[in-house]
Amino acid sequence: MSFRNLIDFSDIPEKEWDEICTLAADMKKNPNRYESACAGKVLATLFYEPSTRTQLSFQTAMLRLGGSVIGFSDPNSSSVSKGETLRDTIKIVSTYADVAVMRNPVEGAAFAASLYCRVPLINAGDGGHLHPTQTMTDMFTIRQEKGSCDGLSIGMCGDLLNGRTVHSLSKALSPHCGNTYYLISTEKLKMPEYAVNLLSANSNKVIECRTLDECIDILDVLYMTRIQRERFTSESEYRSQAGIYILDSKKLENAKKNLVILHPLPKVDEISYEVDDDPRAKYFEQAENALYLRMALILTLTENYPDRLPIKGDKYDFTGERYCKNPVCVSNHEKYLPKIIKENNERKFCGYCERDVN
Ligand code: NCD
């Protein structure tokens, strides 16, 4: 495997992604074969932000592989509450564990942590930025249900501004072709421009809609999301956006018979209860797939990278310059971080949160 840390789904080359999918599918079919695959190994789960599914499924994944789990789910019960830097926490934890999983409310935190981590690090969500293991689940489930991720009409509905799963998914879908994306949201919660650009790469079409009724009959896949209450500055602002998109049986009357309904969960009120029993609802299977994909990922990383490496971040020069304008970028929170700017043909962007820098 060529990647040691999973910060972004695009860290996984296509061929290696196929191998992970094959391994996950085998784990689902023959779980007993893998019950001691990680015996003696330790997974650290560092959750600076609440999580049920992601954290429990990572922990279950390691336990089902015969390994053990350490970590915290409430930073207030760790040294973080005493003001410890991310760098120190990661340095120490990576001398205890063989692989680490981190969720953090700040964008780019996973990449920042990977600079100080001596073992493979997996991003379990960094603010509104990325959530690559959810994306693995989404891509795997689409591929399982539709045969591939190309030539489809894919709707994404809800909080497209703040939802990291749709941003991460847009990045992963970017190299695919022949797709039409229907982005269903209010004006306020529109998909950020950078993600729209990713989706429209490779001549894919992007159509913005304000209602589900405008496109539900055309869709092959509908990815519903909740309004991300915790990312709003006030309750009244959240209230003004909540409850606008609700998928119910009535709306589904116009949908294709083989529509695939996905949701990263937790769902709040955006999918009516009766839809759970509709055979087109695949979100519980999607959540189950996540367990096997996380097992496959943990096994792959611990097998390929069994040694603790020296810390990479110490090699960078620290300039003290604050250069990223994104207030929720980790570079503006963890002040010791080196300035890292990345560049491609079109733009220059912050190496942590990936927002444009001039
Ligand atoms: C998502 C997340 O944390 O971003 N949940 C998850 O990981 N399954 C989606 C969400 O919280 O809305």
Q: Is 134 in the pocket of ligand 1 (CB under 6 A)?
A: yes
Q: What is the DSSP letter of 257?
A: T
Q: Are 121 and 102 in contact (CB under 8 A)?
A: yes
Check for a shared fold between 9-127+289-312 and 132-281. Answer: yes
291 and 96 Cβ atoms separated by less than 8 Å: no
Residue 237, φ and ψ in degrees, nearest 5: -65, -40
User: Which ligand 1 atom is at minimum distance from the Cα of 53?
Assistant: 8
Q: Does residue 167 line the site of ligand 1, with CB under 6 A?
A: no
Where are the chain's structural domains? 9-127+289-312, 132-281
Six-digit token pair at 40?
């003696």
pLDDT of residue 79: 74
Provide the pairing of β-strand 348-350 with 341-343: antiparallel
Of 82, 81, 57, which Cα lies nearest the Cα of 69?
A: 57
DSSP letters of 136-190? HHHHHHHHHHHSSSSS-EEEEES-TTT-HHHHHHHHHHTT--S-EEEEE--STTP
3-state secondary structure of 200: helix
Q: Which is nearest to 165 in space by CA: 206, 201, 200, 127?
A: 127
Write out the two tokens for 349.
Answer: 């962007």
Could you give the count of Cα atoms lying within 13 Å of 252 in the half-sphere of its Cβ?
A: 21
Query: Phi, psi (5° rounding) for residue 336?
Result: -85, -5
Return the residue matching tokens 């996984």. Answer: 12
Measured CA angle at 28 (ends 23, 33), to 5 deg: 75
Low-confidence ranges of the chain (pLDDT < 70): none
Residue among 45, 57, 134 whose CB has most ligand 1 atoms within 8 A, to mutate: 134
List phi, psi (to 5°) of 165. -65, -35
Quick one: pLDDT at residue 262?
A: 98
What are the structure tokens assigned to 219, written together?
């869709």
- The answer to whether 155 touches 221, Cβ cutoff 8 Å, is yes
Whether domain 132-281 has CATH 3.90.650.10: the reply is no
Please name the residue whose Cα sits nearest to atom 11 of ligand 1: 266
Is the CB–ligand 1 distance for residue 294 below 6 Å? no
**Phi first, then psi: what are they for 245, rounded to 5°?**
-110, 115
Torsion of CA 110, 115, 116, 119, to 10 degrees: 80
Residue 167, phi then psi, degrees to nearest 5: -70, -45
Q: Is any ligand 1 atom within 6 A of the Cβ of residue 131?
A: yes
Q: Quick: pLDDT tens for 166-206.
A: 999 999 999 999 999 999 999 999 999 989 999 999 889 99
Give the per-residue pLDDT at 183. Answer: 98
Does ligand 1 come within 6 angstroms of the Cβ of 125?
yes
By the 8 A CB rule, do 209 and 142 touch? Answer: no
Q: Whose CA is nearest to atom 1 of ligand 1?
A: 264
Burial annotation 43-67 (CB, 10 A radius, 16+ → b, else e): bbbbbbbebeebbebbbebbebbeb
Judge if the beta carbon of residue 127 lies within 6 A of ligand 1.
no
Query: Which atom belonging to ligand 1 lies closest to the Cα atom of 164?
Result: 4
CA-CA-CA-CA dihedral for 31, 33, 34, 36, to nearest 10: 130
Catalytically active residues, by annotation: 53-54, 82, 103, 131
Tokens in use for 211?
């209602």
Q: What does each C-alpha distance from 138 to 102, 123, 143, 266 come to in angstroms?
A: 19, 16, 9, 14
CATH 3.30.70.890 for domain 9-127+289-312:
no
What is the per-residue burial (b if ≥16 Cβ within 10 Å, else e) of 146-159? beebeebbbbbbbb
**Alpha-carbon gap, residue 199 to 160, rounded angstroms:** 13
Cα distance between residue 17 and residue 141, in whole Å: 13
